Structure formats: C-alpha cells, structure tokens
Amino acid sequence: MDIMPWPYNELLAKEKDVLNFYVSGHPLKPFEDEIRGFADTSLRSDALESLKDGSSITVGGLITTIKMHVQRDGKPMLF
C-alpha cells in the first residue's frame, strides 16, 4: 500500500502541534534570502549586544499569536 507523504507545510504544522517545535525544517526557510535582504540585524545575542539602547532595527519573523487590547482612548492595539 503506497501512502503519499504530507505536503511540506502540513508536515511542519503537525510537528509543531504535536512536539511544539519543528523537526523537518522551518516555515520561513523558503523566505530566508528575502528576510536576509531586508533585515538589518540578527536576534543572536552577540548581534544584539552591539546595539545602542533605543536603536531602530528591522528583523523578520513569524507571528504565531495575536492578543487584541483596547487602549483607554478606545484605540485598538495588538500584542
């Protein structure tokens, strides 16, 4: 009996659901070159240590959870 493997994104999603981390790869791997193209720093500790307080940086990442909050003035804010 031949069983088709899961598509890559589905495999990663199932790994994340079951193990809470990725084993076979990362969902941002196909975008690695693009992220490196616009990011101006890394989140490695040695890269962050060299930044001055208040520096503005650009990084790439994956949003996994959104929490909606309404400010006192009624404006929405997301975390």
Convert the pLDDT of each residue in 12-34 to its tens digit.
Answer: 999 999 999 999 999 999 999 99
Number of compact structural domains in the chain: 1
Q: Is residue 53 part of a domain?
A: yes
DSSP 60-76: --------EEE-TTS-E
Q: Is residue 1 part of a domain?
A: no
Domain span at residue 73? 8-78
Residue 67: pLDDT over 90: yes
Whole-number percent of the chain with pLDDT over 70? 100
**Residue 20 pLDDT:** 92
Give buried/exposed letters for 64-74 (b at 16+ CB in 10 A, else e): eeeeeeeeeee
> What whole-number distance in Å separates Cα of residue 9 and Cα of residue 7?
6
Q: Is residue 2 part of a domain?
A: no
Q: Is residue 3 part of a domain?
A: no
pTM of the model: 0.62
Residue 37: pLDDT over 90: yes
